[in-house]
Amino acid sequence: MSTITSCLSSRKCRIGVVVLLFLLVTAGGYLSWQSTQPYRVGVLLPGSGDDDSGYFETLEWTVDGLNREGVGRRIELVFIDTAEVPVMAAARQMIGDPSIRVVIGPATSDEAFLIAPDFIRAKKLLITPSATSGDLLRMFSRFGYIWRTTTGDRAQTRILFTILKEKGVGSAALLYEESTYGKTFQDWAAFYAIESGIGLTATVPFRRGGDPGEAVAAACLSNPEYIIVAARGSDAAEVIRIMDEEDNSPRLIFTDAVRTGTFLEAAGELAEGTEGISPTADRKTGFFVAYKEHFGRMPDDYAAHTHDSLILAVAALARMEAVPSESPAEAMKAVVSGQDGIYGWDRQGAAAAIRMIRSGRLPDLTGASGPLEYHLDQPGEPLVTWYVHWRVEDLDFRSNTYIPGSFGVKRAVQMPKTMIEGEKAFILEEGKEPRAVLVTTSSDWENYRHQADVAYMYSLLLENGISEENIVVISQEDVPFLAMNPDSGQLYHRVGGENIYIPATVTQNPITSDAFVSFLLGESSPEIPFGLDSDGENNLLLYITGHGGPGFLEFPDGDHLTSSRFQETLQEMMEQERFSRILIVVEACYGESMGIGLDVPGVIFMTGASYHEPSKGAEYDITLRQWLSNDFSMSMTDIIVQHPDQTLRGLYEMTYDRVSGSHPRIIAGNTTDLNIPIAEFFLHEESL
């Protein structure tokens, strides 16, 4: 005490103590003020209309529960009803509000594609409960700002095929609406058909809200046992009506968009007995019980996922408060990776978990939809979502079984052995410098990736010592100079990579299939001013990128090159001795369909997608809003760079392993050797 008294008798000491007290009071005041500030969470969801899934009432109920329990700060929702305000305008309002760092929404994938790039640029988290397009996270996950609480519809596609397999079904067709929603099912149907050993007889699109009659007829014509219908309620009802009128035999199974009152109303008695699947809560959490107790009815499909969106949003805000040095994306990644104790999904469990996060710890978060666990290599994509297999009985959706849905293992089906059997002696033949023809059949901005793939292959071959005069590029090369290209005259193959564009095309005219065939047979045409002049001693690489369909490659203006004509052309090239060996690489949807039945000596055919299967993009640029490359081409060229001494067999095996969204194929005639070095097509060592 005497020390304190003697200290206080000194003027300096007194001033020091006063300053210290001032600082303490100020800091305390700031902390007190800050703790009274709410966690503000933006909401961009519809409060009415077709896309409303009762989001607002679920969020208000969840917030009310958390505020009752207390998480350290009050939680405040800032709603903008996207049924009333256009989603872009609503998104701008949220982005412009500095007090909002996390937004829940939007409801649909179309909306999410529109606003995701702006949220990424603004470094604000966007958590959607119901936008389930497969491409959404493939495009945006690497930034860490776009999250969802329902697994993409890829998982739904997988479950549909699993159900069919369990029923003993041998064949199925897909009927899908032409929209972002239908596209995911189209993208993955063939993949999971192959994985489940079911024959996919057809994939047929129809226009949303239009007459699906022709599409139904086309699907039935392929004679499947089942038709998977990815459509909204009223369209699905129309499909049932047509099937009933025509007395068609295939049975139907529906995707989640059907589970609506609109469907029951529109289909009436015909709905009785229909079946399908929809996302749901993890019933083991007790969410159904709590929800029904509060609202007096069973929850909508996305209620649990809406609830969980809020838990994630507040948990991320608590983490940002605990560790201010982390970016919002890093905070969210930390929140979903916690393992420090498990807490329940309900208000008590969630509030306790959030309080822990606020204190710097990281518990293992659980939601109403199940454990909130995410793919490590695809942040934002949940590992598992529960689905219910329903059936309409007594004009209501009755739950049959509950199924955990995920993407599954990367690929269960191994490479078709017949394609790669037959070990032969490795022979490195001395020969002429390889020749290459690089073709893209498409143009326009949305086909950026095709021209970028060709440009990258061209630069790779040049780097590998193949001379310019031995490479023919056929591409309109319009993309580098289009008005929407912010980097005029440039093309990129990777986000943040170098410009790869080198002017090289021999024609900027749109080419026809006739012109292309003539070129391969050594003849000129109005579109291509000369013909291929290779001879029987050349190894030839023919790399084709563009759009494809079952049994054809698309050329401009609706022109098609059919697989039979293509194979006849190859036969003729062989007879004219235009190659010693030719490696054909097709980067297009349904690529395998161009090579099925091919058996021309010296011809090896590789493609990234099986018959009926779309190929997938590899890297998406949010500024250009375009895919920069394709998965198969990117994987293959990476392997060529990393393993230049590999054989074609090895190249195929490694590419098959690396491509994740489709099934690469290789086809070679019985007499063709696959144990030849890739250098014979991609490298010229003498000139290096």
Kindly list the residues in this chain that would bind another protein in the complex (CB under 8 A): 5, 8-9, 14, 17-18, 21, 24-25, 28, 282-286, 288-290, 293, 341, 344, 346, 348, 393-394, 396, 398, 402
Query: How many CB atoms within 10 Å of residue 296?
Result: 7
For another protein, which is the closer residue by CB, 4 or 502?
4
**Minimum separation from the CB atom of position 249 to another protein (A):** 21
For another protein, which is the closer residue by CB, 281 or 636?
281
**Minimum separation from the CB atom of position 341 to another protein (A):** 7
What is the helix (H) or strand (E) element at residue 183, kind and residue range? helix 180-196
**Minimum separation from the CB atom of position 306 to another protein (A):** 19
For another protein, which is the closer residue by CB, 15 or 482?
15
Structure tokens belonging to residue 144 = 């860490």
Nearest to 172 by CA among 196, 131, 202: 202
The amino acid at residue 581 is R
Residue 448, CB-side half-sphere exposure with 13 Å CA sphere:
28
- DSSP for 374-410 reads B-SSSTT-BS-EEEEEEEEETTEEEEEEEEEE---SS
For another protein, which is the closer residue by CB, 394 or 421?
394
**277 and 256 in contact (C-beta within 8 Å)?**
yes
Structure tokens belonging to residue 563 = 């697989």
Output phi, psi for 42, to 5 deg.
-75, 150
**Minimum separation from the CB atom of position 586 to another protein (A):** 48
Nearest to 129 by CA among 111, 106, 113: 106
User: How long, in residues, is the chain?
Assistant: 688
What is the helix (H) or strand (E) element at residue 581, kind and residue range? strand 581-587
For another protein, which is the closer residue by CB, 352 or 415?
352
For another protein, which is the closer residue by CB, 13 or 484?
13
For another protein, which is the closer residue by CB, 265 or 393?
393
**Minimum separation from the CB atom of position 233 to another protein (A):** 22
**Minimum separation from the CB atom of position 381 to another protein (A):** 25
For another protein, which is the closer residue by CB, 403 or 521?
403
For another protein, which is the closer residue by CB, 8 or 428?
8
Q: Measured between alpha carbons, how far is 553 from 112 in angstroms, rounded to an integer?
A: 31
**Minimum separation from the CB atom of position 105 to another protein (A):** 28
For another protein, which is the closer residue by CB, 21 or 482?
21
214 SS3 class: helix
**Minimum separation from the CB atom of position 391 to another protein (A):** 11
Alpha carbon distances (Å) from 497 to 312, 501, 629: 33, 12, 12
User: To which residue do tokens 């067709």 refer?
Assistant: 173
**Minimum separation from the CB atom of position 24 to another protein (A):** 6
**Minimum separation from the CB atom of position 154 to another protein (A):** 25
**Minimum separation from the CB atom of position 383 to another protein (A):** 19
Residue 111, CB-side half-sphere exposure with 13 Å CA sphere:
24
What residues are paired with 401 via a beta bridge? 389
Output phi, psi for 196, to 5 deg.
-100, 0
What is the helix (H) or strand (E) element at residue 62, kind and residue range? helix 55-69
CA angle 451, 454, 455 (to 5 degrees): 85
Query: How would you label 484-509 residue by residue, b for 16+ Cβ within 10 Å and e otherwise?
Result: ebeeeeebbbeeeeeebbeebbebeb
For another protein, which is the closer residue by CB, 18 or 482?
18
Per residue, the 3-state secondary structure of 215-272, as one string, reads: HHHHHHHCCCCEEEEECCHHHHHHHHHHHHHHCCCCEEEECHHHCCHHHHHHHHHHHC
For another protein, which is the closer residue by CB, 389 or 578?
389
Structure tokens belonging to residue 84 = 């009333």
**Minimum separation from the CB atom of position 290 to another protein (A):** 6
**Minimum separation from the CB atom of position 102 to another protein (A):** 28
Helices (H) and strands (E) in the chain, counts: 22, 25
Output phi, psi for 495, to 5 deg.
-65, 125
For another protein, which is the closer residue by CB, 1 or 688?
1
